[in-house]
Amino acid sequence: MERRPNTDRPPKRRKRGKKTDIAKTALGAEPEKRGRNKTAPKKAGAAPRELSQHVKTAKQRKYSSTLWLKRQLNDPYVARAKAEGWRSRAAFKLLELDEKFSLLKSGARIVDLGCAPGGWLQVCVKAVGARGRVVGIDYLSVPPVPGATILEMDFLGEDAPTRLKEALGGPADLVLSDMAAPTTGHKSTDHLRIVALAEAALDFAEDVLRPGGAFVCKVFAGGAEGELLARLKHRFTAVKHAKPKASRSDSAEKYVVATGFKGQA
């Protein structure tokens, strides 16, 4: 007996998704199917991509402060400084300068102008050993650094040079200046402030350095030109500029390194 199809049930309809208009996709390309995306194959020799940390913007925090905090959290030198026990990433700047110019010697007397937060002091104390002497000065409060003498006062104060000489107990082998004046946003004003600090540091260096000593000073783009650079070349046998790798690439800071002090004029 022939079986007839049941005509009482309506035929099943196939569900169709919404048709995508290819003309509306980017460059008329075939739209991708939804679902899990397959991981693209990695190129040979490609370095692993580091995940950057995101910083939430707080109500009472300025946007510039948020950017600075994000840069700090994602800075490899900041992470390395914490891992190795340095107080700041600036320690690596001095280590690089010493590797290039052989500035730090055992038993030396060193002055660090603008020593906060103490990273350079740590490097100096480790280099000079028990026979050396390291003195730092800053108007900001700096936690004690074992092996270093720290003066909490303004370097531009009248009695600052005398206090530094007393703490040194003799002529200095190296004068370091990592001082930087607060910026105003006005280029001409900021330039004058930077040059004034560098000149004050050089005045002190010429007064306390022994013959053959060295002077390192932070400057910015164009900060060690003209009269200051002429003075350095006149009083030292070699004057060079250097930008350590630990300095941020977007920063205009550089260091002028003067070696071979010719002695008192």
Annotated active-site positions, please? 218
Kindly calculate the radius of gyration of the chain based on its CA atoms and give it in whole angstroms. 31
Query: Which of 125, 122, 94, 88 has its CA nearest to residue 216?
Result: 94
CB 196 within 8 A of CB 235: no
CB 214 within 8 A of CB 258: yes
CB 160 within 8 A of CB 137: yes
CA distance 262 to 265: 8
How far is residue 116 from each of residues 4, 104, 153, 212, measured CA to CA in Å? 96, 19, 11, 27
Helix H, strand E, coil C: the string for 226-248 is CHHHHHHHHHEEEEEEECCCCCC
Place of tokens 């560098």: 198
120: left (phi over 0), alpha (psi -120 to 50) or beta: alpha
